[in-house]
Amino acid sequence: MSDIDRPAFAEDDAPRLRARSCRNVVSPQDAEREWIARMLWKAFPESRSENELADLVAAHFAGRGREVSARTVRYWLRRETTPRWRYVVELLALAGAERAFELIFGTGGGK
């Protein structure tokens, strides 16, 4: 193969180009984190800011004997980490069945 027939990019550029072409694909983990962040906002609709929401969620869990800091909740809201299942179940209960179905299926739970 002559230099004229070679691709315009170097061989070590190929992984970067492949990664760039897949950027719009949402991983299951990213989708889960997005869903949890939306669930937090639905569970505490009175919140006006991320900090206020983090404080409310942390206070709610602290009142139930589960120590969660506002900083941890901000990580959940920023989609950096995910909460344990026991917290997710409680958030589902707080948000209510109709809101949970709306977030899961995009239907609002009804027709």
pLDDT single digits (tens) 44-97 = 989 999 999 999 999 999 998 988 999 999 999 999 999 998 898 888 888 776
Name the least confident of 7-16, 25-34, 61-70: 7-16
- Give me Rg for the CA atoms of the chain: 21
Question: Are the CB atoms for 104 and 91 separated by under 8 Å?
Answer: no
Helix axes 28-43 and 50-63, enclosed angle (nearest 10): 80
What lies within 8 Å, CB to CB, of 36 at 6+ separation is 76, 82, 83, 88, 91
Q: Would you list the domain boundaries of the chain?
A: 28-105
Distance, in Å, from the CA atom of 26 to the CA atom of 67, rounded to the nearest integer, reads 31
Question: Are the CB atoms for 32 and 82 separated by under 8 Å?
Answer: yes
Give pLDDT, residue 35.
Answer: 87
**Number of Cβ within a 10 Å radius of residue 40:** 23
Q: Is 80 helix (H, G, I), strand (E, B) or coil?
A: coil
Does the pTM exceed 0.85?
A: no
Tokens at 84, concatenated: 């344990």
